[in-house]
């Protein structure tokens, strides 16, 4: 059995994994700020590597805070034992392969109200991979990737409710935190300006539309346009009406649907027997807004905030599928087995 997570010449207790990930992410973030933007070839490579690594480790920190089980790439015997603090080391390292950065984002999006998009983090991983696998790095690319890195980290910290003092510690001092805070503030200002630009364009299109319609039937035509729902993935999305901030007609917010753990009622009080009602609670995370009248489309979270869209909502419960019920019952069996093992071990 290993002594914990290796940290140089010593080890850190297994239950401190979130702290290990946060500290490691912080070290990379500090290096980026210290060498930014990386004028020499070697410094540019180091900056690029640390940009992507800081983001990935912080993503895994957030996952680990929710559950260690969200981290592995696959579940082998040694993986399970390592996460339980009972694994054996190989060459002084834990036998655990964690999920890659992009997949970590997908898991975090499913497990929380965070809805990071590909364009939010892709460049941070691209510059890192180019530096690691090809030994090439661009100062200009690093500048753009650093901005993406700062915004992703700010989103993750906001999600966790991280205090200013903790942000200062993460970045390595007040000067560094002020530097990245200025980048966040600039991005907010740019997003508001872009939002206002989208609204002005939609208002112009709405005015053109209304001027082209006969007064007698104008209201009915506009109503028909407004009532046409957007195209959605019926299996994973749901549209909810919302007042359009540009034309004040009815538009639609498209929510990504997250289904919870089934609630199953067993008629004979015996597990595995015939069940009665089985349903799942559903939550929605705002993905985009669309208006069928003025054609306004808002596809970024900051735009939705400006439009006063409710980002997270409770949706009506839905009947559980048979696959969901089967998975739920299999998890119950696994939990019972784990409990019996712990009892046998004297836990």
pLDDT confidence of residue 343: 66
Q: Examine the pLDDT at 332 and tell me if it is beyond 90.
A: no
Taking residues 223-236, report their average pLDDT. Answer: 90
- Among residues 155, 172, 189, which one ends one of the domains? 172
Query: What does the pLDDT look like over 231-268, one tens digit per residue?
Result: 998 888 999 999 999 999 999 999 989 888 888 877 66
Which tens digits make up the pLDDT trace of 274-289? 566 788 889 898 999 9
Confidence of residue 103 (pLDDT cuts 50, 70, 90): confident
| Predicted local distance difference test score (pLDDT) of residue 177 | 96
* Same domain membership, residue 30 and residue 150: yes
Residue 319, pLDDT score: 85
Parent domain of 151: 5-172
pLDDT of residue 326: 78
Residues 247 and 101 in one domain: no
Q: Are residues 158 and 30 in the same domain?
A: yes
Together in a domain, 144 and 251: no
Per the domain annotation, does 35 fall within a domain? yes
Residues 167 and 222 in one domain: no
The answer on 250 and 155 residing in a single domain is: no
Instruction: Check residue 308 and give its pLDDT.
Output: 94
The 10s digit of each residue's pLDDT in 6-18 is: 778 787 887 888 9
Q: Are residues 150 and 231 in the same domain?
A: no
Domain count within the chain: 2
CB of 4 closer than 8 Å to CB of 14: yes
pLDDT per residue as tens digits for the range 33-56? 999 988 899 999 999 999 999 999
Share of the chain above pLDDT 90, in %: 54
Are 149 and 234 in a shared domain?
A: no
Residue whose C-alpha is closest to residue 288's, from 270, 306, 300, 273: 300
Clarify whether residues 250 and 149 are in a common domain: no
Total-model pTM: 0.77
Question: What is the chain's mean pLDDT, rounded?
Answer: 88
């Amino acid at each position: 059995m290993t002594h914990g997570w290796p940290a140089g010449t010593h080890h850190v207790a297994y239950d401190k994994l979130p702290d290990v990930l946060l500290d490691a992410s912080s070290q990379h973030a500090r290096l980026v700020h210290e060498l930014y933007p990386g004028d020499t070839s070697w410094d540019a490579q180091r900056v690029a590597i640390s940009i992507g690594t800081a983001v990935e480790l912080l993503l895994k920190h957030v996952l680990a805070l929710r559950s260690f089980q969200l981290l592995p790439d696959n579940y082998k015997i040694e993986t399970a034992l390592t996460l339980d603090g009972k694994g054996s080391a190989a060459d002084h390292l834990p036998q655990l392969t964690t999920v890659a950065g992009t997949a970590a984002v997908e898991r975090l999006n499913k497990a929380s109200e965070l809805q990071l998009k590909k364009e939010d983090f892709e460049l941070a991983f691209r510059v890192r991979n180019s530096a690691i696998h090809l030994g090439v790095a661009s100062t200009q690319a690093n500048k753009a990737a650093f901005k993406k890195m700062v915004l992703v980290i700010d989103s993750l910290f906001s999600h966790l409710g991280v205090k200013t003092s903790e942000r200062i510690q993460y970045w390595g001092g007040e000067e560094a935190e002020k530097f990245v805070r200025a980048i966040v503030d600039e991005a907010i200002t740019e997003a508001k300006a872009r939002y206002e630009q989208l609204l002005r364009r939609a208002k112009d299109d709405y005015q053109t539309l209304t001027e082209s319609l006969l007064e007698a039937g104008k209201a009915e035509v506009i109503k028909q346009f407004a009532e046409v729902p957007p195209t959605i993935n019926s299996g994973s999305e749901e549209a909810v009406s919302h007042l359009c901030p540009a034309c004040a007609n009815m538009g639609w917010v498209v929510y990504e649907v997250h289904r919870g753990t089934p609630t199953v009622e067993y008629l004979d009080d015996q597990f595995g027997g015939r069940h009665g009602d089985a349903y799942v609670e559903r939550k929605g995370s705002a993905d985009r807004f669309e208006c069928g009248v003025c054609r306004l489309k808002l596809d970024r979270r900051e735009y939705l905030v400006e439009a006063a869209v409710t980002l997270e909502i409770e949706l009506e419960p839905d009947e559980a599928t048979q696959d969901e019920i089967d998975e739920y019952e299999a998890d119950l069996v696994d939990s019972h087995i784990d409990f019996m093992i712990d009892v046998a071990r004297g836990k």
